[in-house]
Amino acid sequence: MPYHRSVSAARPLPKSLPERRLLRELERIVGASNVIWRPEDLLVYEYDATIDRGAPEAVVLPGTAEEVAAAVKLAATAGVPVVPRGAGTGLSGGAIAIAGGLVIGTSRLRRILELDPANLVAVVEPGVVNADLSQAAAPYGLRYIPDPSSQKACTIGGNVAENSGGPHCLAYGVTTNYVLGLEVCLASGELAWLGGRVPGLTGYDLAGAFVGSEGTLGIVTKAAVRLSRLPPAVRTILAAFPELDQASGTVSDIIAAGMVPAALEMLDRLTIQAVEPAVQAGYPPDAGAVLLIELEGLPEEVEAQTRTVQGLCRRREAREVWVAEDEAQRERLWAGRKGAIGALGRLAPNYYILDGVVPRTKLPEVLRRVGEIGARHGFAIANVFHAGDGNLHPNVLFDERVPGATEQVLRAGAEIMRLCVEAGGTLTGEHGIGVEKQDFMSWIFTAADLEAMQRLRRAFGAGELFNPGKLFPDARHCVEVGFRIPKVANLGTGDFM
């Protein structure tokens, strides 16, 4: 049975949309073929890439920012909640309509409006697929750096809302470092530009506040983003280790040696066993862990760093260390990493992917304890993650058809998140809070912190219109999924942020 998380009675959210008049008004704005309301058509909108489910009462697909604005105005007047949606690849339930209401999808807003190589700027609509932007920039020797592993599907609007990262964000920073300005639709239905299209900012960084707001402040209708030059030289190294600890130790050694590779990714034994038969990436199938290390820069510098990294890997008894010989081999190595989550389907019918951050030096200990938590709950856990950032992605493997399995997985997931926080880390590196981790927010934020965020939301005029019932804690969820997280004396003080 798919998992449905119910929403709090303390904040009743109306299941209110399908009044004929509203649907007719929406059809007048965007055309009848761009309003979806039949229950069977709505099914594909009831989920994202994680566990929770919730169907909207209607979906509208505007073709311009002005149509977004008109739909928002209509929904606001009728008191109907609005859920912005990109490609639905989110991993925290952000794009699902847990409170019903209207989904505003950006799948028709896919134009790259400007590509300005001289100023290293692109202006795009929010539904542009991440990888399409880099592809369009490549003939100019440019790329868009934030590269989530889902980049062939996820959208720039979704990336902005989640402040997404990716393998190449270790050295260069995440989405927020690449957003220059945003056109947004506010709850009033007004379109407003925040920031601009040149670096350097006067006054409050309102675009910065919008990045990572998970669709709770408004809808991004255009984004001006920074492009970067393609590096003159790239080397991709594969290092295979007998055990995970040796790979984790090497991650710290590389950073301690003064290098910040463009990417530093790790896959554990179980993940390799799923990936290799699926993708034939070239990972040794019996390795305990694999590191993918990418170095970029001037050719001489990259060659010197490659030698240093190879030496560090061997010092930790890597069984194999080699450099991709050509672009085709490099792409195969990356296909393994980027296809890893999908390949887990070979191991179990379902996976629950977690996203936590811990200090890099704590990786070996935390990964060991993640395995122990899985074993105690009776689940295998496969790890594939941005090791350089200490950004863990434990994937709990399970079968949702087994009665109670989903609830058990959520309990194991909560323990793993708690472990990350107790290790001095935090709740998300890139997937956001959504509905998945809202009840853990008080582990790292005080009531005053959370109220300050709510005040910001009100300052944007958003109230509960956009994405209600997400991001902020709602104590009833804990009870409904049947777990209670004990308070730890030194947590919940905001000290960790």
Site residues (vs ligand FAD, CB under 6 A): 48-49, 83-91, 94-95, 106, 126, 148-150, 154-155, 157-159, 161-162, 164-166, 214-215, 219-220, 341, 430-431, 467
Residue 146 CB, nearest approach to ligand FAD (Å) = 8
Q: Among the residues of 191-243, which ranges form H helices?
A: 206-210
Q: What is the CA radius of gyration of the chain?
A: 22
Residue 299 CB, nearest approach to ligand FAD (Å) = 28
Residue 157 CB, nearest approach to ligand FAD (Å) = 3
Locate 377 and state its tokens. Answer: 């709950």
Q: What is the DSSP string of 301-332?
A: HHHHHHHHHHHHHHHTT-SEEEE--SHHHHHH
The Cα 434–Cα 441 span in angstroms is 11
Residue 344 CB, nearest approach to ligand FAD (Å) = 9
Residue 423 CB, nearest approach to ligand FAD (Å) = 21
Token match 């393998």: residue? 167
The Cα 369–Cα 290 span in angstroms is 19
User: 37 vs 351, which CB is nearer to ligand FAD?
Assistant: 351
User: 103 vs 419, which CB is nearer to ligand FAD?
Assistant: 103
Residue 102 CB, nearest approach to ligand FAD (Å) = 12
Residue 1 CB, nearest approach to ligand FAD (Å) = 22
User: 246 vs 467, which CB is nearer to ligand FAD?
Assistant: 467
Q: Are strands 58-60 and 102-105 parallel, antiparallel or unpaired?
A: parallel
User: 222 vs 330, which CB is nearer to ligand FAD?
Assistant: 222
**Do you know the residue count of the chain?**
497
Q: What's the N-to-C CA distance of the chain in angstroms?
A: 37
Locate 383 and state its tokens. Answer: 């790890």
User: 155 vs 442, which CB is nearer to ligand FAD?
Assistant: 155
User: 188 vs 308, which CB is nearer to ligand FAD?
Assistant: 188
User: 148 vs 425, which CB is nearer to ligand FAD?
Assistant: 148
Residue 175 CB, nearest approach to ligand FAD (Å) = 8
Element spanning 42, H or E:
helix 39-42
Residue 90 CB, nearest approach to ligand FAD (Å) = 3
Locate 285 and state its tokens. Answer: 């199938």
User: 131 vs 323, which CB is nearer to ligand FAD?
Assistant: 131
User: 156 vs 295, which CB is nearer to ligand FAD?
Assistant: 156
Residue 58 CB, nearest approach to ligand FAD (Å) = 16
> Within 10 A of 269 (CB to CB), how many other CB atoms are there?
18
Q: What is the dihedral of CA 214, 217, 222, 228, to 10 degrees?
A: -50
Residue 338 CB, nearest approach to ligand FAD (Å) = 8
User: 214 vs 415, which CB is nearer to ligand FAD?
Assistant: 214
User: 355 vs 415, which CB is nearer to ligand FAD?
Assistant: 355
The Cα 187–Cα 125 span in angstroms is 19
Residue 446 CB, nearest approach to ligand FAD (Å) = 24
Which residue, among 198, 126, 187, 188, has the nearest Cα to 155 in the 3D structure? 126
In contact, 167 and 143? CB cutoff 8 Å: no
The Cα 166–Cα 389 span in angstroms is 10
Locate 205 and state its tokens. Answer: 């960084």
Please provide residue 289's backbone torsions phi and psi, each rounded to the nearest 5 degrees. -165, 150
User: 287 vs 340, which CB is nearer to ligand FAD?
Assistant: 340
- DSSP type of residue 487: P
344-348, long-range: CB < 8 A, 24+ apart = 344/271, 344/274, 344/382, 344/395, 344/397, 345/274, 346/274, 346/277, 346/278, 347/270, 347/273, 347/274, 347/380, 347/382, 347/397, 348/380, 348/397, 348/398, 348/399
